Amino acid sequence: MNIPKTQKRYCRYCKKHTEHTVRRVSAKKVRGLLSHGQRIFKRKMKGFGSYPRSNPKGRAKPTKKLDLRYKCKECGKEHTIGKGFRAKKFEIKRKV
């Protein structure tokens, strides 16, 4: 799927339609401190013994929902679309 990099969308801060640039947000990278559960998990994975939970067989859904952010060119605020959609292949088209 291809979507244009700039789109005219409604900005609720400017209360009108303005040009927006699209940005795809990828999953956050974990940095610094891990959560409590993650620390326990790491300890369990150390040394001998297997994975603490059985391996999940296959994912229910092969694709993930996209997290898209639209940035208003006028006020510079970013907003999301309410519901992401699924796409196997996704590209943001650059303006030629």
Interface residues with Zn ion (CB under 5 A) are: 11, 13-14, 72, 74-75
Taking the least distance from each CB to Zn ion, the nearer of 45 and 81 is 81
Looking at residue 75, its amino acid is C
Q: How far is the CB of 15 from Zn ion (least distance, A)?
A: 8
Query: Kindly report the CA angle at 16 between 74 and 22, in degrees rounded to 5?
Result: 55
Return the number of the residue (67 or 74) whose C-beta is nearest Zn ion.
Answer: 74
Listed in sequence order, the residues at least 6 apart from 30 whose beta carbon sits closer than 8 Å to its beta carbon are 38
* Shortest reach from residue 21's CB to Zn ion, in Å: 12
CB of 75 to Zn ion, least distance (A): 3
CA distance 41 to 52: 8
Q: Which is nearer to Zn ion, 15 or 59 (CB)?
A: 15
Q: Please, where are the H alpha helices in the chain?
A: 36-45
